[in-house]
Amino acid sequence: MQASPAPQRFFRRWLLLLLIVLGGAAVLVQRCVSAAKWAPAVPENLDEFDAEVRELIQEHARVARAEPSAENHGTLGMVYEANGLWLHAERSYRIAAELARAAPLWSLHRGIALTHLGRLEDALAVFRGLVVPPLESAAAHYRLADALLTSGALDQALAHFQAAERLAPERAEAHVGLGAALCQAARFEEARVQLEQAVRLDPGLRSAHYQLGLALRGLGRKEHATRELALGVDAEKQALPDALSARVAAFKVGYGSRLDGAVDLLDSGRNLEAIAVLEDMQRQLPSDTNVLNNLAMAYLRTGKVQRSHELLVRAKEIDGQAFATWINLAAWGLESGDLEQGLAAADRAVVLAAKVGTAHLVRGNLLVAKGRFEDAYAALKEAVKLDALKPEVHHALGQVCARLERYEEARTHLSAAAQLAPGLCEAQLDLAQVHLLLGSLEAARQALAAARRITPDHPGVARLAREIDGQAGAR
């Protein structure tokens, strides 16, 4: 008798069902593994973040979680980079680079994040993979060169700075990077050529002036070096931008990041750009006294005197105990010519911060403007006591001493100003004048020569030269 086929059919159906179930489970497991692998990086303490930063992270993390593409993870990385969250920026860029291996910019910015995290060897490995055709770019060569320079590999760094300059000859930053490396190699003449080109391309780039000053000093041209070093004081290194740089900057929404960026713009003289940032911040934070104060000073620098005053008055109404508001009102009074209001504000600033030298300096300058030289002398003596290393304080006191015919004391403070700020032409001219009044003709000539080296076409140079020649002829 032949066996019934029913058990065989049941077995085949059971096996097929098992395979379907196992297959579905495998797909589910694969999806879970994939979801975990591409899960967006999110800080554990997100609730403690500035509200604007937190909302931006949440928005872009949600998009990256729903659609884990290179663009979405890379965009999240840019949000982190813009706001200084380097650990999470590195993870986001790493995921983006894995999802789009043919897109080198995600890897480039991962390398930047690794550099900020102190993982220099990892960063070097990333950058080295980006300087070979067809991936190479000026920005990749620059970043690799900068990392190599940090690691002490000067010769290798020079080669990649040269490649960056070759690929982006129109960018001042490329010339500054190469020039700085050439200075470290003591190849000062080659450095000078590169750095003078950088200054021609971007006269406002402080790092270009500073590095040019170092190159000129290395060549023994100290008189020209002094001027360039003065123009480059407080310079910060500017990296060569890449195709993502502008997009990253647009994500600077954190209060601290945006305010710091605006202050940096003000410090570099880019007042209109600072105003654009600060006006946007004011619309979002209309009662923030830090924003109001910085925007007021930006307006003052651009001639918007009345608007500046309105913001400072508003800041004072919000917080009448804020030293910054009172010192800025004092500076506004000096700039606008409203000396009475300025002096009243300076008096209040001194009450609020008696140990802050700037308060006494601004008050002293206002008293000078009012012709109250003895009172100004007392205020500036206090400022020098508190800020003995600030050249502008010694310069102001030296000028007042000269007005009061206390020439020996004037000479002391003007000499200090000239030593603390070798590029300050006005201090050298005032010192030369005091030397002349004291009958020190040779010392006057030396100070005049220093002023001429700093600013040859300063009108005071020709005038003082005539006075010195006249006194010499009278002897």
One DSSP character per residue, 102-130 reads T-HHHHHHHHHHHHHTT-HHHHHHHHHTT
d(CA 380, CA 374): 10
d(CA 88, CA 420): 43
3-state DSSP call for residue 283?
A: helix
Amino acid at 461: V
Amino acid 24: pLDDT:
56
**CATH number, domain with residue 197:** 1.25.40.10
67 found inside a domain: yes
For residue 376, being part of any structural domain is answered with no
| Beta strand residue intervals within 221-353, DSSP E | none
Does any domain span residue 59? yes
Report CA-CA distances (Å) from 183 to 70, 174, 196, 239, 371: 40, 14, 13, 17, 49
In terms of residue numbers, what domain contains 166?
A: 49-231
Question: Residue 1: what pLDDT?
Answer: 44
Residue 198 lies in a domain: yes
- As a whole number of angstroms, the distance between CA 211 and CA 198 comes to 10
pLDDT of residue 205: 84
- On whether residue 39 sits in a domain, the answer given is no
CB neighbours of residue 271 within 10 Å: 17
- DSSP designation for 131: S
Q: Where do runs of H (alpha helix) occur along 421-454?
A: 425-437, 441-454
Any domain includes 337: no
Q: Total structural domains in the chain?
A: 1
Give me the residues of the chain with pLDDT under 70, please.
1-36, 233-234, 474-475
Sign of CA dihedral 365, 367, 371, 372: negative
Q: Is residue 126 part of a domain?
A: yes
Inside any domain, residue 62: yes
pLDDT in tens, 57-104: 999 999 999 999 999 999 999 999 998 899 999 999 999 999 998 899
Tell me, what's the pLDDT at 130? 96
Amino acid at 90: E
Rounded to whole angstroms, how far apart are CA atoms 396 and 390?
Answer: 10
CA 150, chain centre distance (Å):
20
